Amino acid sequence: MRLTYIFLSILIVTGLIVTFRAEDRYQWIKAGIIFVVQIICSIINFILLFLVSFILMSNDKYINFGNLFMLLALFILISGILLYWGMRLIGKVIRFSNTTLTLIEYYIQWILIYVTVYQAIFSNLKHIKGLGEYIRVGNFLDPNVIVLTILPSFISAWISIIMYKRYTKAI
């Protein structure tokens, strides 16, 4: 655990240096705050939509939602539209720069990739007793191994490109 704290400390210090040396100092933080607020509002939307759907589904003769995948897709669209309306209302008071919105997109994409890696690790954790055993068996072409090796590299390369684009004021 100590190594984790060391890497986390290095990450925080590097993040602070990058944030406060930039011309628009608070773009990264502003994007992070907006992203967190959007996620919280989206979670609230989903809870409310699921509650409404369960109330409506209790009376089967009026509504039948079909399969769960389509219901989730419908909820995603409704929540996205609600968040869009909220951003338009707040956009009248607070200006969202293109840089901030781009950074929010990057946060979303980085987290999606990381969650995929996390899922691949922990879905196979019960099957693997140790990395040495996994290598001895020769499961190098297992898609989960590919996910675990390539996707973190994608995130690292992406972060370096974004930081360089920020350095050259391309975003």
First-to-last C-alpha distance (Å) of the chain: 36
Whether 64 has a pLDDT exceeding 70, the answer reads no
Q: What is the pLDDT of residues 116-150, one digit of tens each?
A: 877 777 776 666 555 565 555 556 666 666 676 77
Domain-by-domain residue ranges, the chain? 27-96, 97-171
Is residue 24 left, alpha or beta, with left meaning phi > 0 and alpha meaning psi from -120 to 50? Answer: beta
d(CA 2, CA 114): 22
* Spatial CA neighbour of 158 closest among 86, 107, 115: 107
φ and ψ of 163, to 5 deg: -65, -40
- Among 40, 31, 27, 33, smallest CA distance to 82 is for 40
Report the pLDDT value the prediction gives residue 40, as an integer from 0 to 100: 92
CB 116 within 8 A of CB 151: yes
Tally the C-alpha atoms within 13 A of residue 166's C-alpha that lie toward its C-beta.
23
Which one has a higher pLDDT value, 92 or 72?
Answer: 92
pLDDT band, residue 1 (cuts 50/70/90): low
